[in-house]
């Protein structure tokens, strides 16, 4: 029986990853097993590289996307460390693919390399290594018409280009965490907000500004406007905060609840207004734009992670 594997970190589980998973299932067929080998930590962080990239997906989010969106049931999370980093591709194929997981076929991305780097090593070499252990190496097709990378998506999110980033992701970018107490200044001025403490410090935060968002709490979806920034009008200091003003007045108090904030579109920069009344007027205007956006682009429960 076929046991078909592919290897990668799969940060973001973007459309390129999804296309690779589709091919993985095709090669495995109905009777075979499709297997993803991924890593608990980003290899660049383990290797001590300067400025390792922030995460597009936490480990939990990645697993949920690979299982749900990509329909992969067997996912093996490996502890990438210095010892594993020192393995050649040949050693990795022998020890992990063949001996540990019984892989019969290896699907390799069109530009993907693994194992300790060797000059000029590529899929032809992998095919040779595979013949020695009984692993057939299959070259994956590139996603037609567009090249997608996690680094490209990070650049878009850093610029607040959420619609473009979501298009490449093939799902809506989110920040997960817990609602914590703020200074309650927004409530005092008629703009109550849910203050998010992001659950993973390595998760990438979009550019400062005001966004159309959806907040998911207790399985329910709530339309919202979310501000990322320092809230200069209310003088909250220099700390960057993530505050969602939920537009549904029937939404219960979310304090201490686990929530996910889905980012759809950036509306504007964060601005210091002359007084709270001017801020409230702008928030109401933002709310109208957000509601119109949601009417034209419904976000349904099946679209949430």
The CATH number linked to 126 is 3.40.50.620
User: What pLDDT score was predicted for residue 279?
Assistant: 77
Q: Which residue has the tokens 């589709």?
A: 22
User: What pLDDT score was predicted for residue 14?
Assistant: 97
Residues 75 and 182 in one domain: no
The verdict on residue 170 lying in a domain is yes
Residues 132 and 29 in one domain: yes
Range of the domain at 33: 3-139
Q: In sequence order, what are the residues at sequence separation of 6 or more whose Cβ sits closer than 8 angstroms to the Cβ of residue 172?
A: 166, 214, 262, 263, 264, 299, 303, 304
The verdict on residue 133 lying in a domain is yes
The verdict on residue 232 lying in a domain is yes
User: What pLDDT score was predicted for residue 123?
Assistant: 82
Strands (E), the chain: 3-7, 33-39, 74-78, 105-108, 136-139, 174-180, 194-198, 209-217, 220-229, 241-246, 258-268
Q: Which residue has the tokens 């040949």?
A: 90
Residues 35 and 164 in one domain: no
Q: Are 191 and 147 in contact (CB under 8 A)?
A: no
End position of a domain, from candidates 94, 109, 139: 139
User: What pLDDT score was predicted for residue 231?
Assistant: 65
Q: Tell me the pLDDT of the chain (305 aa) as tens digits.
A: 899 999 999 999 999 999 999 999 999 999 999 999 999 888 777 776 777 899 999 999 999 999 999 999 999 999 888 888 888 888 999 989 999 999 999 999 877 777 777 766 778 888 898 898 899 999 999 898 888 999 999 999 999 999 999 999 999 999 999 999 866 555 555 567 899 999 999 999 999 999 999 999 999 999 999 999 876 555 555 678 899 999 998 889 899 999 999 999 999 988 776 677 777 888 889 999 999 999 999 999 999 98
The verdict on residue 100 lying in a domain is yes
Query: Nearest-CA neighbor of 299 among 241, 255, 260?
Result: 260
- The tokens for 243 are 């505050």
Q: Are 126 and 157 in contact (CB under 8 A)?
A: no
The verdict on residue 40 lying in a domain is yes
Residues 211 and 278 in one domain: yes
The verdict on residue 148 lying in a domain is no
The verdict on residue 283 lying in a domain is yes
Residues 100 and 236 in one domain: no
Residues 71 and 175 in one domain: no
User: What pLDDT score was predicted for residue 120?
Assistant: 64
Residues 133 and 179 in one domain: no
Residues 134 and 165 in one domain: no
Residues 103 and 8 in one domain: yes
Q: How far is CA 249 from CA 66, 224, 243, in A?
A: 35, 11, 16
User: What pLDDT score was predicted for residue 238?
Assistant: 63
User: What pLDDT score was predicted for residue 274?
Assistant: 62
End position of a domain, from candidates 139, 174, 197: 139
Q: In sequence order, what are the residues at sequence separation of 6 or more whose Cβ sits closer than 8 angstroms to the Cβ of residue 154?
A: 53, 54, 56, 204
Residues 235 and 183 in one domain: yes
Q: Considering its fold, how many domains does the chain have in total?
A: 2
φ, ψ dihedrals at 247, nearest 5°: -85, -15
CATH code, 230: 2.40.30.30
Model-level pTM?
Answer: 0.91
Residues 111 and 222 in one domain: no
Nearest-10 crossing angle of helices 150-158, 162-169 = 160
Q: How many other C-beta atoms lie within 10 A of the C-beta of residue 295? A: 9
- pLDDT tens, 85-141? 888 888 999 989 999 999 999 999 877 777 777 766 778 888 898 898 899 999 999
User: What pLDDT score was predicted for residue 38?
Assistant: 94
- The tokens for 230 are 């320092």
Query: Nearest-CA neighbor of 209 among 290, 266, 260?
Result: 266
Q: Which residue has the tokens 């299982």?
A: 67
φ, ψ dihedrals at 46, nearest 5°: -65, -40
- As a whole number of angstroms, the distance between CA 165 and CA 63 comes to 20
Residues 166 and 195 in one domain: yes
Q: Which residue has the tokens 């194992």?
A: 115
What does the H/E/C string look like for 155-173? HHHHCCCHHHHHHHHCCCC
The verdict on residue 150 lying in a domain is no
User: What pLDDT score was predicted for residue 62?
Assistant: 97
């Amino acid at each position: 029986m076929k046991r078909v594997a592919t290897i990668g970190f799969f940060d973001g589980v973007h459309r390129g990853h999804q296309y690779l998973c589709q091919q993985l299932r095709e090669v495995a067929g109905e009777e075979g097993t499709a297997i993803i080998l991924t890593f608990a930590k980003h290899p660049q962080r383990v290797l001590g590289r300067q400025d390792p990239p922030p995460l597009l997906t936490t480990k939990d989010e990645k697993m949920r996307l690979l299982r749900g969106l990509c329909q992969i049931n067997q996912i093996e999370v490996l502890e990438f460390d210095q010892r594993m980093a020192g393995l050649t591709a040949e050693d990795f194929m022998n020890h992990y693919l063949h001996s540990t997981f019984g892989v019969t076929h290896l699907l390799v991305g069109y530009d993907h390399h693994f194992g300790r780097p060797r000059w000029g090593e590529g899929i032809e070499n992998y095919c040779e290594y595979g013949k020695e252990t009984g692993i057939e190496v299959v070259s994956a097709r590139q996603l037609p018409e567009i090249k997608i990378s996690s680094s490209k998506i990070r650049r878009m999110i850093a610029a607040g280009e959420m619609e473009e980033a979501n298009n490449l992701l093939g799902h809506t970018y989110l920040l997960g965490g817990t609602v914590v107490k703020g200074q309650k200044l927004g409530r005092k001025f008629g703009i109550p907000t849910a203050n998010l403490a992001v659950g993973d410090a390595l998760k990438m935060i979009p550019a400062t500004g005001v966004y159309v968002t959806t907040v998911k709490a207790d399985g329910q979806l709530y339309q919202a406007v979310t501000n990322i920034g320092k809230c200069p009008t209310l003088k909250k200091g220099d700390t960057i905060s993530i505050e969602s003003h939920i537009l549904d007045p029937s939404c219960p108090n979310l304090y201490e609840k686990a929530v996910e904030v889905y980012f759809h579109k950036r509306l504007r920069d964060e601005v210091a207004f002359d007084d709270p009344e001017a801020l409230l007027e702008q928030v109401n205007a933002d709310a109208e734009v957000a509601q119109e956006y949601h009417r034209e682009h419904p976000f349904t429960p099946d679209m949430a992670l």
